[in-house]
Amino acid sequence: MTNVVATNQTILVVGGGISGMTAALEAAECGKDVILIEKNPSLGGRVAQLYKYFPKMCFPTCGMEINLRRIKSNRRLRILTLTEVTSVTGDTGNYSVTLKLSPRYVNENCTACGACANAVTAEFDNEYNYGLNKRKSAYLPFAMAYPQRYVIDSRIIGTEEASKAKAACPVNAIDLDMQVQELKITVGAIIWATGWKPYDANKIQPYGYDRIPNVITSVEFERMADPLGPTGGKLLRPSDQKEAKNIAFIQCAGSRDRNYLKHCSRMCCTATLKQTTYIREKYGDEGKANIYYIDIRAIDRFEDLYQKVKQDPTVTFIKSKVASITQDKSTGNPILNGVNTEGYQRYSTPYDLVVLAVGMEPSVDFTQLPINITLNESGFIEFDPKNGGQFAAGCASDALDVNRAVQHATASSLRAIQVINKVAGAEA
């Protein structure tokens, strides 16, 4: 059983991505008690699923590492993974929150030796790689996962597989009797850092994501480019595992479109510019990137990256929102159809691989949670005094890059600290 001490001077942070980790750490390092909950088995969020991140093109492991060091050296921060909020009642300075803790079936004894994974055979879609490959039913979510503890997939509980995993563990870390647990806590302020999710590409019917194997999403492309990813860092076509060298990117796949997401997701242009550098990195002058866009929105200092990519002769920009994608059956090549706004020529151009720069939407449908919070038209949390002691951090508030998400998280942390200080002042 997990026990947690919390009072109305505690800050609850929901979501352990870069924003949640930042908000939690900033508050904890200011001496506040913080509980950080994450629904997945590991912290890291979507940044941990990138190959590199702009503007400096560093590896996410680097940013993760710094935060993990801060986490490990802080005694005021309590982390609960596999945990979600089921209800919130009360008001500023005094919220009563119910948490649901799902079992990991692996306790603190785990040394991440991997013996359980070797013992099992059942495999499931690998969530970390957006289902591009499979993982074992006893698994470490990814190399940098925190906590560094294996997970037993609940779908094998009660089967022979689970017993095999348990028997293989040399340190008696597997506890198959763990149950779902409900926990009621009191906190003074809540920071929602639940982040974003990629827009469901299946809804963009004319682009055939559901029908054409060589049409993938930008988040899948990130995993493909990663040497630790499902293809070992090779840009392989899902249809025939051949290397894709002539690659098209479709911007605003879901964004800025009243049929899908009305808002501009803001990051997708820069993400695509970044992804063209992956192609250059793999193939030099042999690779080709073709960007179909309405207009390139590389905000403020990302303009530098845009200018740099524009200089690259292997990158072509086509001003056009692609109307439809069809498939050349004999080659498996997706064919982009549309009209080029610069000259109004009609095109039907085949590529090895097409990457949809899908939009970002709130990962949580807050209207479905029993909480009272102001949302904007797109479902992101709006800053509103009526929200009381509840604040958004990072992409829970808007489609943001890491830099802006972290700034926003720090600001939210300050707001939450103010709430806690008031509570403390009143009680002193």
Partner 1 sequence: MSQAVEKYRNTFLREVEANVEEGQWVKMCMQCGVCSGSCPLGPHWEHPPQEIFMMIRANKREEVLTSSSMWFCTSCYNCIARCPRELPITHIMHGLAHYAQRQGLAPKELPTAKFAKRFWDNLLKKGRVNELQLGLQLYFMNGLAEGIKTSLKMQKVGLGMLKTKRMDPMEALGGHGCKDIKGLKAALNKAKQIEETKAAKALERLQSKS
**Residues making contact with ligand FAD (CB under 6 A):** 14-20, 37-40, 45-47, 50, 53-54, 84, 193-196, 218-219, 222, 267, 271, 274, 360, 363-364, 394-395, 400-403, 405
38 binds, among ligand FAD, partner 1, none (CB under 5 to 8 A by kind): ligand FAD
321 binds, among ligand FAD, partner 1, none (CB under 5 to 8 A by kind): partner 1
Out of 72, 75, 346, 386, the only residue in the binding site for partner 1 (CB under 8 A) is 346
Q: Token pair of 240, please?
A: 């025939």
| Interacting positions 253-292 with partner 1 (CB under 8 A) | 256-259
Per-residue exposure over 24-57, b if at least 16 CB sit within 10 Å of its own CB, e if not: bbbbbebebbbbbbbbbbbbbbbbbbbbbbbeee
Backbone angles phi, psi at 43, to 5 degrees: -75, 170
273 binds, among partner 1, ligand FAD, none (CB under 5 to 8 A by kind): none
Q: Least distance to ligand FAD from the beta carbon of 68, Å?
A: 14
End-to-end CA distance of the chain: 33
Q: Token pair of 159, please?
A: 């089967």
Rounded CA separation 109/405 (Å): 34
3-state secondary structure of 356: strand
Q: Of 59 and 347, which has the nearer Cβ to partner 1?
A: 347
The number of beta carbons lying within 10 Å of the beta carbon of residue 203 is: 14
Q: Least distance to partner 1 from the beta carbon of 348, Å?
A: 10
Q: Of 113 and 294, which has the nearer Cβ to partner 1?
A: 294
Q: Would you count residue 377 as binding partner 1 (CB under 8 A)?
A: no
Q: Of 60 and 332, which has the nearer Cβ to ligand FAD?
A: 60
Rounded CA separation 36/29 (Å): 14
Q: Least distance to partner 1 from the beta carbon of 295, Å?
A: 8
Contact criterion met (CB below 8 Å) for 99 and 182? yes
Q: Of 295 and 328, which has the nearer Cβ to partner 1?
A: 295
- In the numeric block, the tokens 């997706």 are attached to 334
Q: Would you count residue 344 as binding partner 1 (CB under 8 A)?
A: yes
β-strands 246-253, 353-358 pairing: parallel
Contacts with partner 1 by CB under 8 A lie at 206, 252, 256-259, 294, 319-324, 337-341, 344, 346
